[in-house]
Structure 1
Amino acid sequence: MTFQKPSHTFTKIHLKALHTNNFKILFALSFTVFINTLSFSQDIPKKGKSINATVKDSLVTSVDSLDVLNTSEKIKDTITSDSIKPKKELLENIVKYHAKDYTTFSNKKQKLYLYNEAKIDYGDMNITAGSITIDYNTNTVYAVGITDSTGTYSQKPVFTQGSNVVEPDSIVFNTETQKALIYNSKTEQGEGTVISEITKKENDSVYFIKDAKYTTASNLEDPEYYLKLRKAKIVPGKKIVTGLANLFIYDVPTPLGLPFGFFPQSETQTSGVIIPTFGEQNTRGYFLQNGGYYFAINDYVDLAILGDYYTNGSYGIRLENKYKKRYKYSGNVGFSYEHLITSERGFSDYATSTIYNLRWSHSQDSKANPNSRFSASVNLGSSNYYQQSLNQINAANFLNNTLSSSVSYSKTFQGEPQVNYSLTATHSQNTNTEEINMTLPTFQGSVGRVYPFASKNGSKKGIIQNINLQYNIRGENRISTTDSLFFKKEMFDDAKIGFQHSIPISTNFKLFKYFSASASSSFNEVWTFKTVSKTFDTVERETITETISGFDAFRTYNFSTSLGTTVYGMFNFEKEGKDRKIKAIRHVIRPSISYNINPAFDQYYDTYEVVSADGLTTSDVDFTRFEESIFGTPNKTFSSSMGITVSNNLEAKVKDKDSTATEDKKIIIFNNLNFSTSYNFAGDSLKWSPVRVSGGTQLFKNKMSINFGATLDPYALDNNNTRIDTYNIDNGGSLFRLTSANMNASWSFSSKDGNSKDKNDNSEENRQRGGRADDLFGVSQDFSNQQIQEKRGEKEEKPSEFYNFKIPWSFRVAYAVNYSNSARQNEISSHALMFSGDIDLSSKWSVGGSSGYDLKNAGFTYTQLRFERDLLSWRMNFSWIPFSANSSWNFFIGIKSSILSDLKYEKRRQPDIQL
């Protein structure tokens, strides 16, 4: 970029000696001066017109007087095309400049002055400043701020070229060489800012700085920390290469430094090394943890390979992968493998073990395909993985006793009727018993409801037109195994395969205007590929069960009908002239009665004889060859039963405490209060089933939820605690005998209205690992992976950094109690209280904890205490698990920014694996 001197465009007038008198000479001289002086008037806009914000520079092409042809001569070029390319014009782009107060050109100094909100645009370069001066002699641009009447320096220059932005106090820029000197600049580079006294811009892609500061602090006037860069080279958007650099904290130098440094500044994800954490762990010796390499495969997929190594030979490998395609799908895969060594070879306590864990989460965007869907949620591995792993991120999952997985694909075929099918693989693992149940896979298909007698106009009236039927099929390959046989050949030996077909037929209709009636019947057919045959061995005196491979099937059917209605009741307490607090109570009752018939299918049952030891007494034992069917066995006993259910809902309308409220407030007394029982007409004894009572409510503005249940048995017990066909009231007892009861309550409240939220928001991570969505079992201690997480939203009133006169707090509590009395044990089987909370002592200090108390065994449960200090650009955490087999503590301090995430200090005491 070069600014052409305005004088180059002016026609020069050459004076010749004139033979005339002095007056004419004086007149000619005066005229010449006058013409040369006013020739600059073309730069001045016409009177009465304002200066446009964008002015197209007319000085684009240069015309030398020696090159101007005589206008009277016409020369025709005989060369149609020249092989020599013309020279590039001095100005490749249009220069646009603007100033609020004035734009002045000095012919004597060949300078253009722009003042107040000055701006210059040229190609991808833009300069804004309070004052800009363009020197045409040296092709230099000077940009500075302006000082107002109060002495405040404002409108500092902002130099923008491409995506690079520099904010200095002043700048000198050469438009011809594209070089610049920048004074007291602040330049954003990635997540950080470079503050430099003098910056030399070599070209569009290289800057040299001296005695600069690199920081990620938000307060650039007084950063709480920075890296002092004696000499450095900046390639915007790519890298910063430095010489000697060391850490300053509030302008106080520290011995932490490097002889040279490299800071990647890529605007896209880039592969690179992950620096490990070092330390010492009890009996394993010194270690390097969480070190590895990050692969930025492409814009949709990445991969991190991490490893741990201990000097006693233990090691661990982890793979973390994330993928996402907008409007298609997203997910993550994680695999962990650890080889653990206890003590040293040759000692009596020497032991080795391996643990692993596989996690996979996949979700499909609803916009991807409305007729098919694929999803996955997998969490499987060693049963003792969460208990033995020392990865700090697993601290919140230490108490997990179940692992579950599900991978499913479903497809819908639109039409009349609609057809659906799905394939699902499931996994359920009890980490205490190490039992594993899997279905590989489960197939389900269905044909939508068909109304064969419905009218063509679409409306269905009456019992006949509402008759509908559909077809369902379900097939499973069910596997039961243990942790030691998982994914081994033996786990498939006892696999059970079966199919179930069902055709339900139902209808519904109104009865006596207020009653809703329904009737249904279902035909079921079960296929199995393994049956059993039983005989009694008189020698060994045991029953011998033989498995027979081959196809077999049984068929059943049943019938049911129901009748129900809804009753509304309103109890109004308002009276004229009285302003009562309780206005009314609304009671909704939904009673229903059902009748079910299940025929007996004796044809599927056989018998075998059992001979007593004396060889004389024999007895017949019934069995069915379908005992190992995964979809149950045929019904042997005829059943004709009636079910009774009553559901209740109670709400109250009360006076609102807010005097400005225009309507009364509604509160919930009972969300639900349900009673259910049944009577078997075909039973020979114990015809009544126990009464089941369940209910739930919400208190304290719906912040506390309570759910309860109880089982009431009308029959008495004999001396052996066995149920007998005698009512309890006839046996000298009460009408019902309470056999079991349970209640659980959860309360989440805080200093502000609304539900509280965990500061670290680990709920999604905890769910993926099979844990709780809340923090009642604690939170992850892997603070190095949470440096970039921000705290909760800004508070409405920003408190003092030293004392918070309105201390924000949140508290979560869960209570559960279970009572058992089925065999006169009359005991509390479990009684526990769990709680967690957080308190912000100031805007920077917060403490929290998670714990519980076993009220039955009188002892505290798994406990975690947390302390956090927000150090602006830094973060400090301390987590402590004081007791249990996972007792440990972890201290961490580090920079929040991911670009300097390796600038940290971490000290931990890990659990003793021998415990």
Structure 2
Amino acid sequence: MAIQKPSHTFTKIHLKALRTNIFQILFTLSFTVFINTLGFSQDLPKSTEPITPKTERDTLSLVSDSLFSQPLNLKENDSITSDSIPKKKEFLSGKVNYKAKDYVSINQKENKIYLYNQAEVYYEDMEIKAGVIVIDYNKNLVYAGRLKDSTGYSQAPVFKQGQNVVEPDSIIFNTDSKKALIFNSKTEQSGGTIIADLTKKENDSVYFIRRGKFTTSENLDDPEYYFLMRKAKIVPGKKVVTGLTNMFIYDVPLPIGLPFAYFPMTKKQTSGVIFPSFGEQNDRGYFVQNGGYYFAINDYVDLAVLGDYYTNGSYGMRIESNYALRYKFRGNLSFRYENLISSERGFPDYSKTSVYNIRWSHSQDGKSSPSSRFSASVNLGSSRYYQQSINQLNSSNFLNNTLSSSISYSKSFQGEPQVNLNMTATHSQNTNTQQINMTLPTFQGSVSRIYPFEPKVGTKKGIIDNINFQYNVRAENRIQTTDSLFFKKEMFDDAKMGVQHSIPLTTNFKVFKYFSMSASTNFEENWTFNTVRKYYDAALEEEVTIQKNTFDSFRTYNFSTSIGTTIYGMYDFTKEGKDTKIQAIRHVMRPSISYSINPAFDQYYDTYEIVDADGTTSREVEYSRFEQSIFGSPNKNYASSMGISLSNNIEAKVRDRDSTKTEPKKIILLNNLNFSTSYNFAADSIKLSPVRMSGGTQIFDNKMSINFGATLDPYALNNNNQRIDKLNINNGGSLFRLTSASINMSYSLSNKSFSGKSDDDNSNDRAIQESIRSGGRADDLFGKPEDFADQRLTDDDRDDREEKPSELYNYVIPWNLRLAYAVNYSNSARQNEISSHSLMFSGDVEISPRWTVGASSGYDFKNNGFTYTQLRFERDLLSWRMNFSWIPFSTRSSWNFFIGIKSSLLKDLKYDKRKQRDQQL
């Protein structure tokens, strides 16, 4: 028996706190433990030394026979395992997921899998959804087709591989070669749709079709037009190349076909040829217009180069570029030049002119650089560009007399005080007088207000705490020139330069709790580099002015103060137990009285004498050497004047028509009604200025805007219709003479105005933006602009139109109308006449779901005649667009007809015919 080690038993017994009252039991257990530990089953004998055997070496040697040598352990390969026949590839190399709504049946005998009703198969990058799908893994084929029921076919297959989606009637797909046969397929390619009887998918990037139809129509079951391609090759996302093709309009073929055609299908921005328009003009011959090339430079900038050519020698060119950098800036730049020749050389009506126009628009994202900003809005060129250009018809710019431009850069330096810098270049051009005013450049700098006496803790109170001053500087280089000298060195000959420094010191405080009072004084110092000296030349008997381009300066200052308050008046119409429609009317008045002192700075004035022929001085002429400087001459006469003004605002609270609204609605009765006049204490006569009144309001839910104004003169006129120092009431007249008055009203409404819907119509945003960019009106009261080089201005996207429940019953005719009425009255010299009186209107009405008629015109009640008129007719031909615009009379009498495909993919397929306006000598 082996030795037993009861160490675990011993530990468990003797280390646990055991309690017992029987001593014999404890003794018996202890005795048993010692016996088991030290006791043996039997005694072992004592060990003795072992007897070692004695070994002897045998002298007889044995030789091994070679026949009995041990064989080598060699491993030989079987030649059968290295067979030259390749192992058959598995049917499916990837994981296949499939499902169906009704059932999925696996036929082991036929090696096929059947999926029925809403079947779907996903294998690698291939997706097939169909009514019925059969997977034949014996032939490596997948069949997909439609379901047939009593109503016809349903659940047509949808085959998708990568980004390509095909919707056929049925499809056979080989999972081994990746080829497929597609029957009666419809696939979308970069905005166009290809409908093919039979399509063979060669690989992921090449398709071959037979008798395919290419169209951009939305009605694929019955497209209004298509190009029939007998045989074609498709590279998805890149191109479609076809053989003989011609256009069909409602399945009627056009007699003209093409032996081959190429359709670009890329979704990326790519370069390409811009197809021109062809036509004929009576005075310039045949022409090719708006042809050129588009350069897709990169993702941030593009360039389009367009040109025109006429057989009489006239030509034109345009360069258009757009650029954008996300979260930084965006803009566009265009340059247009036209060299126009009329008639033939040697004829009396021969003329040759050149016109050009430069436009640049740049805007910066406000988040790109909060402390600095750069912007540009440039529209400059020939004054007669919009009147003579033959490649655009922008009526609003033709009727506008001013072209303006502005380029500015501003920078702010944060701190106490803050410093602001601004650099601006401006341009203003009158197209009638061809006068051009430019500032190249204008520099402005300012330091924010400094409060030297403000408390370190708490708010500013009182006259002392609110004392503040700031520093402003303005440096300007002003150029005045004409259209003929523009961009020539002579335009800088009469440039005027100067710098103006100003330090305004102001404060404000409360008086008698309810009155706000302010006081200010302003110190100015003007530096100029253009002064004059005048004298009288007795020999020539005329005044002589000498221009002096030397530095000179003068200083001025003034003082002003004002006091004003706000008075509120409320009239409550509410009565207990009655729900009145008008609940309250509030009247807010803001009277103000100001006083200003402008000292006379006659130290900056000089005199010269005019001498008669006999040598005697007849009179002295006073002048200032700064009178032709950029900021003008200082004030010569002392002025001490008081100004009085009163502004009014009247509002009403009315019960809302919506019964669910608990709060009354606030409407404006008079947005503003202002009166102002002044009294000059230092004047010798006619101390009281005319009373000027202006006001405005909005009615009809803010759809009609009304602005009015008038001038009331308290002084009388003499027999020569000149103002005299005598009140009109003392001359037998009324208290005031109405010398001028004006009223302007504008009203916009549509069919939505009476249905509670918004009148916002963004269908002509492109045309409106083009008009604003060129300096015209922000509406179409003068007609919609038409740019023959950019037909997008007249595109009407009707995809956002509301769905109508029925075209036959309860059809709402969309229409819109804009009105503008203006009348001006003049009576400053007893003429008592209406100086101008006109009504302008513009509107469009959709006489049928796809016919739109519009007009822009007006009537001059003073001259009894219609103003500039434009008539518009447009027909929506689904995938096509047709419009006709006509200016029936005026010096720009003309018409334009256009029909073309809406899609930008085929926008070059168009017909454009127009009659140029009558030639004006």
TM over 0.5: yes
1:427 is matched with 427
Instruction: Give the 3-state SS of the residue equivalent to 1:682 in structure 2.
Output: coil
1:396 Cα shift? 4.1
1:725 Cα shift? 1.2
2:870 to 860, 864, 870: 864
Which letter maps to 1:258?
Answer: L
Which letter maps to 2:372?
Answer: S
1:303 Cα shift? 0.9
- Evaluate the alpha carbon distance shift between residue 897 and residue 134 of structure 1 in structure 2; reply closer, same or farther with a 3 A threshold: same
Q: Is the 8 A contact 1:748 1:756 kept in 2?
A: no
Instruction: Give the 3-state SS of the residue equivalent to 1:463 in structure 2.
Output: helix
Which letter maps to 1:765?
Answer: E
Distance 1:565 1:544 in 2: 54
1:114 is matched with 115
Instruction: Give the 3-state SS of the residue equivalent to 1:301 in structure 2.
Output: coil
Note the 1:709-720 alignment, pairs <5 A.
709-720=709-720
Q: Is the 8 A contact 2:714 2:728 kept in 1?
A: yes
Instruction: Give the 3-state SS of the residue equivalent to 2:549 in structure 1.
Output: strand
Instruction: Give per-residue Cα distances to partners, 1:602-654, cap 9 Å, x unaligned.
Output: 22111111224554343222211111222222111111111111000112233
2:781 to 764, 776, 784: 776
1:791 is matched with 798
Instruction: Give the 3-state SS of the residue equivalent to 1:752 in structure 2.
Output: helix
Distance 2:172 2:581 in 1: 77
1:657 Cα shift? 4.5
Distance 1:275 1:451 in 2: 67
Note the 1:115-264 alignment, pairs <5 A.
115-148=116-149, 150-264=150-264
Instruction: Tell me which moved more, 661-670 or 864-873.
Output: 661-670
Question: Is 1:820 aligned to 2:826, yes or no?
Answer: yes
Instruction: Give the 3-state SS of the residue equivalent to 1:666 in structure 2.
Output: strand
Q: Is the 8 A contact 1:113 1:134 kept in 2?
A: yes
1:543 Cα shift? 1.3
Instruction: Tell me which moved more, 662-671 or 597-606.
Output: 662-671
Q: Is the 8 A contact 1:781 1:890 kept in 2?
A: no
1:169 Cα shift? 1.1
- Evaluate the alpha carbon distance shift between residue 458 and residue 156 of structure 1 in structure 2; reply closer, same or farther with a 3 A threshold: farther
Question: Is 1:289 aligned to 2:289, yes or no?
Answer: yes
Distance 2:457 2:95 in 1: 72
Q: Is the 8 A contact 1:788 1:897 kept in 2?
A: no
Instruction: Tell me which moved more, 162-171 or 616-625.
Output: 616-625
Distance 1:793 1:692 in 2: 48
Question: Is 1:359 aligned to 2:359, yes or no?
Answer: yes
1:779 Cα shift? 0.8
Question: Is 1:908 aligned to 2:909, yes or no?
Answer: no
Instruction: Tell me which moved more, 653-662 or 292-301.
Output: 653-662
Note the 1:670-709 alignment, pairs <5 A.
670-709=670-709
Instruction: Give per-residue Cα distances to partners, 1:188-211, cap 9 Å, x unaligned.
Output: 011110001110001111100011
Which letter maps to 1:794?
Answer: R
- Evaluate the alpha carbon distance shift between residue 613 and residue 757 of structure 1 in structure 2; reply closer, same or farther with a 3 A threshold: farther
1:18 is matched with none
Distance 2:121 2:416 in 1: 68
2:629 is matched with 629
Which letter maps to 1:869?
Answer: R
Distance 1:628 1:554 in 2: 14
Q: Is the 8 A contact 1:332 1:362 kept in 2?
A: yes
2:59 is matched with none
Distance 2:849 2:818 in 1: 21
2:759 to 755, 770, 775: 755
2:58 is matched with none
Note the 1:347-386 alignment, pairs <5 A.
347-386=347-386
1:840 is matched with 846
1:115 Cα shift? 2.8
1:402 Cα shift? 0.8
Q: Is the 8 A contact 2:479 2:495 kept in 1?
A: yes
Instruction: Give the 3-state SS of the residue equivalent to 1:767 in structure 2.
Output: helix
Instruction: Give the 3-state SS of the residue equivalent to 2:771 in structure 1.
Output: helix
1:832 Cα shift? 1.6
Question: Is 1:853 aligned to 2:854, yes or no?
Answer: no
Which letter maps to 1:721?
Answer: N
1:658 Cα shift? 4.8
1:462 Cα shift? 1.3
Which letter maps to 1:364?
Answer: Q
Instruction: Give the 3-state SS of the residue equivalent to 1:494 in structure 2.
Output: coil
- Evaluate the alpha carbon distance shift between residue 579 and residue 108 of structure 1 in structure 2; reply closer, same or farther with a 3 A threshold: closer
1:294 Cα shift? 0.8
Which letter maps to 1:440?
Answer: L
- Evaluate the alpha carbon distance shift between residue 804 and residue 359 of structure 1 in structure 2; reply closer, same or farther with a 3 A threshold: farther
Instruction: Give per-residue Cα distances to partners, 1:683-723, cap 9 Å, x unaligned.
Output: 12111111110000112111110111111111112222222
Distance 1:858 1:76 in 2: 119
- Evaluate the alpha carbon distance shift between residue 519 and residue 422 of structure 1 in structure 2; reply closer, same or farther with a 3 A threshold: same
Distance 2:336 2:214 in 1: 37
- Aligned residues: percent identity? 69
Question: Is 1:96 aligned to 2:97, yes or no?
Answer: yes
Instruction: Give the 3-state SS of the residue equivalent to 1:283 in structure 2.
Output: coil
Larger radius of gyration: 2
2:645 is matched with 645
Question: Is 1:584 aligned to 2:590, yes or no?
Answer: no
1:803 Cα shift? 8.8
Name segments (4+ residues, structure 1) moved above 6 Å: 73-77, 86-89
Distance 2:827 2:542 in 1: 36
Instruction: Give the 3-state SS of the residue equivalent to 2:529 in structure 1.
Output: strand
Distance 1:88 1:487 in 2: 81
Instruction: Give the 3-state SS of the residue equivalent to 2:563 in structure 1.
Output: strand
Q: Is the 8 A contact 1:759 1:792 kept in 2?
A: no
- Evaluate the alpha carbon distance shift between residue 887 and residue 109 of structure 1 in structure 2; reply closer, same or farther with a 3 A threshold: same
Give structure 1 stretches of 5+ with no counterpart.
Answer: 1-72, 78-85
Give structure 2 stretches of 5+ with no counterpart.
Answer: 1-72, 78-85
- Evaluate the alpha carbon distance shift between residue 108 and residue 393 of structure 1 in structure 2; reply closer, same or farther with a 3 A threshold: farther
Distance 1:198 1:213 in 2: 11
Instruction: Give per-residue Cα distances to partners, 1:832-866, cap 9 Å, x unaligned.
Output: 21110010112111100101111111111110000
- Evaluate the alpha carbon distance shift between residue 97 and residue 477 of structure 1 in structure 2; reply closer, same or farther with a 3 A threshold: same
1:75 Cα shift? 10
Q: Is the 8 A contact 1:446 1:472 kept in 2?
A: yes
Instruction: Tell me which moved more, 449-458 or 260-269.
Output: 449-458
Instruction: Give the 3-state SS of the residue equivalent to 2:855 in structure 1.
Output: strand
Q: Is the 8 A contact 2:689 2:713 kept in 1?
A: yes
Instruction: Give the 3-state SS of the residue equivalent to 2:730 in structure 1.
Output: helix
1:579 Cα shift? 4.8
Which letter maps to 1:103?
Answer: V
- Evaluate the alpha carbon distance shift between residue 89 and residue 267 of structure 1 in structure 2; reply closer, same or farther with a 3 A threshold: farther
Q: Is the 8 A contact 1:142 1:173 kept in 2?
A: yes
- Evaluate the alpha carbon distance shift between residue 312 and residue 130 of structure 1 in structure 2; reply closer, same or farther with a 3 A threshold: same
**Alignment TM-score, normalising by the size of structure 2:** 0.88
- Evaluate the alpha carbon distance shift between residue 112 and residue 721 of structure 1 in structure 2; reply closer, same or farther with a 3 A threshold: same
Instruction: Give per-residue Cα distances to partners, 1:331-383, cap 9 Å, x unaligned.
Output: 11111100111110121211101011111111111111111111111111111
- Evaluate the alpha carbon distance shift between residue 257 and residue 397 of structure 1 in structure 2; reply closer, same or farther with a 3 A threshold: farther
Note the 1:325-474 alignment, pairs <5 A.
325-457=325-457, 459-474=459-474
Distance 1:487 1:799 in 2: 62
- Evaluate the alpha carbon distance shift between residue 898 and residue 792 of structure 1 in structure 2; reply closer, same or farther with a 3 A threshold: closer
1:112 Cα shift? 2.4
- Evaluate the alpha carbon distance shift between residue 75 and residue 469 of structure 1 in structure 2; reply closer, same or farther with a 3 A threshold: farther
